[in-house]
Structure 1
Amino acid sequence: MRFRFIAPIAAVLTIACTETNTITGRDQFLMIPASQDAALGLEAMNEVKQSVKLVKGKPAERVARIGKRIAALSDRPDMQWEFVVIDEDVLNAWALPGGKVAVYKKMLDMMESDDQLAAVLGHEISHAVLRHGAESLSRAQAQNMAIAGLGLAVGTYTKSGETAQLAATLANVAAQGFVALPHSRSMELEADDIGTRYMARAGYDPRAAVTLWQKMQKMKEGSGGQPQWLSTHPTDQQRIDRLSAKMADYLAEYQRAKKS
């Protein structure tokens, strides 16, 4: 009998927490109100600062200069934007809710121009503006609630703890393979698109976004890697193709910025 209540509860929860993003037009599942983004991001950034070494001086100033220029022309210039460089040999960058952005030293070092760095920062700024962090956290919370409910229902129905655990495990695998990971890939492509628009709007050449992913692709050649269906990110070629297909729009934005 408990099975009957899981689907209706899940449906009500999904409807109640679904919002349409005014920038992309896509419906987002958000259990976290926007008013909490700044507090969540600030708390997480403070924890990061206590656990890692930050790069100071001109490299950090360069990232902050470019990042703030792009953020000021994004759809959320009012966020409490902060840009830091983490002194670690990691090829990565990330954004926290509320506008906290970090670039690792290795990623910064491989940027040959401000335009390429703008492509990285525009991408991360878009994640924050589009609330992808809050969306991912919301989906994880809902997934955990659903898996816990399934385990309880199966355990009650079968009177078997082992069967309940197996059901929860399989549900988790399915959720990761067919919900969480594909959705993460869609958010990455979304951030590529909006981020490239932002960098072009700020006067940075959007063609550098394609160059960036071509460089990333070349670095990975011959290194193997996990299958695409297990990756939280699109392939570099997917990103290159999608960006190239929209380049005329990005360049038009770039030309308008140069004339203004």
Structure 2
Amino acid sequence: MMMVKRFALVGIMAWLAAACVTTNEVTGRSQFITIPPAQDDALGLEAMNQVKSEAPVRTTGPDARRVQRIGARIAAISDRPDFNWEFVVIDEPVLNAWALPGGKVAIYKKMVDTFPEDDMLAAVIGHEIAHAVLRHGAEQVSRGQLTNTVLAAAGLAVGAATGDGQSTQLAMTLGTLAAQGFVMLPHGRAMELEADHVGTIYMAKAGYDPRRAVDLWRRMQTMKDGNGGPPAFLSTHPTDDKRIARLEANMPDYLAVYAPR
């Protein structure tokens, strides 16, 4: 009976994985996403409201207006100008930015201050807009849900076979490490490179010089030198060298759609 249950669970998971694989309309890449597109806006709004209740979010003032101006210009020529786009500044000394489903984008104050040139800040904002358009947040959450389901099933299978709770826990722990090292992190790096590429196309179409995207990562590289960051293979982000090489290799394509204003 236990064997039948395990086969049934495996069958359900296989069906779920197949049913939730879609083709991204922008890149043509297959994505595993369990969240319907119609829910993106509500999820992003809920998450942004939570951030606003906990962090010093700025929606007015010179920095916010600058981010909103650049963001609106890029979002307008993106593949999803219909999103309910919102661009905010988080008043914290952090060199970071992020995007939520449905078009909610945050840029930290240190990022705004570090890149006073609009073209370079446009590279950051274009990258985050690309994350939202390509539904990377929903994709990562969906993969996390599937991974947790698989690990739970593996733990149950080991426990049923051995009758040993300690073995069950060990199997789930090792499975978590394997998933993190060989599934989630590499996929995160692939999505970062994808957002670099699409985001640079967006910034160029919006009239921002795509060559400044390379300058952005060169400056980021010098700022991180000697800070003892994690090795590239344990990071969700690709190395700066790889990002720069990819951007330079595709620069003719970016310049072909660049429309200076």
- TM value normalised by structure 1: 0.96
Q: Distance in 2 between matches of 1:172 and 1:199?
A: 38
Aligned residue identity for 1:42: L
Q: Which residue of 2 aligns with 1:118?
A: 122
Q: Distance in 1 between matches of 2:238 and 2:9?
A: 32
How far residue 58 of structure 1 moved from its aligned partner, in angstroms, is: 1.1
Q: Which residue of 1 aligns with 2:56?
A: 53
Q: Distance in 2 between matches of 1:161 and 1:100?
A: 43
Q: Distance in 2 between matches of 1:155 and 1:98?
A: 41
Q: Which residue of 1 aligns with 2:158?
A: 154
Q: How does 1:136-175 map to 2 (within 5 A)?
A: 136-175=140-179
Aligned residue identity for 2:139: E
Q: Which residue of 1 aligns with 2:33?
A: 30
How far residue 8 of structure 1 moved from its aligned partner, in angstroms, is: 3.0
Q: Which residue of 2 aligns with 1:258?
A: 260
Q: Distance in 2 between matches of 1:228 and 1:77?
A: 34
Contact 2:209–2:260 under 8 Å retained in 1: no
Aligned residues: 257
Q: Distance in 2 between matches of 1:61 and 1:91?
A: 19
Q: Distance in 2 between matches of 1:6 and 1:189?
A: 34
Q: Which residue of 2 aligns with 1:80?
A: 84
Which one of the candidate residues 132, 137, 148 is aligned to 1:128? 132
How far residue 54 of structure 1 moved from its aligned partner, in angstroms, is: 2.4
Structure 2 residue ranges without an equivalent (≥5): none
Aligned residue identity for 2:128: E
Q: Distance in 2 between matches of 1:3 and 1:9?
A: 10
How far residue 225 of structure 1 moved from its aligned partner, in angstroms, is: 1.8
Q: How does 1:205-216 map to 2 (within 5 A)?
A: 205-216=209-220
Which one of the candidate residues 23, 38, 44 is aligned to 1:20? 23
* Aligned-CA RMSD value: 1.1
Q: How does 1:217-232 map to 2 (within 5 A)?
A: 217-232=221-236
Q: Report Cα offsets for 1:20-64 as digits up to 9, x if no partner.
A: 001111000000000000000000001111111123311100000
Tell me the percent identity: 63
How far residue 6 of structure 1 moved from its aligned partner, in angstroms, is: 4.6
Q: Report Cα offsets for 1:215-234 as digits up to 9, x if no partner.
A: 00011111222222111100
Q: Which residue of 2 aligns with 1:10?
A: 13
2:112 counterpart of 1:108? yes
How far residue 5 of structure 1 moved from its aligned partner, in angstroms, is: 4.0
Structure 1 residue ranges without an equivalent (≥5): none
How far residue 156 of structure 1 moved from its aligned partner, in angstroms, is: 1.0
For the residue of structure 1 that corresponds to 2:199, the secondary structure is helix
Q: Distance in 2 between matches of 1:158 and 1:187?
A: 39
